[in-house]
């Protein structure tokens, strides 16, 4: 797997909101919330702490290949 290297835009936020995810993926906010919920559930299964309605920017970019 290639090493994760964020761009300057990606490093500006530690967490992404549903609005951020919706804009990046071109989906509705309700779909963005479903994506965030799925990503956060994966993080919780790995024993990580999550914030409801937000997702780690690093984890998001690693899992969406943006």
- List pLDDT tens digits, range 1-29: 556 666 655 567 899 999 999 999 999 99
The confidence score (pLDDT) of residue 23 equals 96
Residue 2 resides in a domain: no
Range of the domain at 41: 14-64
d(CA 36, CA 52): 8
User: If DSSP codes are grouped into helix, strand and coil, which group holds residue 64?
Assistant: helix
The confidence score (pLDDT) of residue 65 equals 84
Cβ(50)–Cβ(40) below 8 Å: yes
Residue 46 resides in a domain: yes
Per-residue three-class SS string for 5-60: CCCCCHHHCCEEEHHHHHHHHCCCHHHHHHHHHHHHHHHHHCCCCCCCCEEEHHHH
Number of domains in the chain: 1
Supply the mean pLDDT for the chain.
Answer: 89
């Amino acid at each position: 797997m290639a090493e994760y290297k964020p761009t300057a835009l990606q490093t500006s936020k530690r967490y992404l909101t549903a609005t951020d995810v919706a804009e990046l993926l071109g989906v509705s906010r309700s779909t963005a919330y479903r994506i965030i919920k799925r990503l956060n559930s994966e993080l919780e299964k790995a024993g990580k702490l999550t914030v409801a309605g937000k997702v780690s920017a690093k984890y998001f970019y690693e899992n969406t290949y943006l």
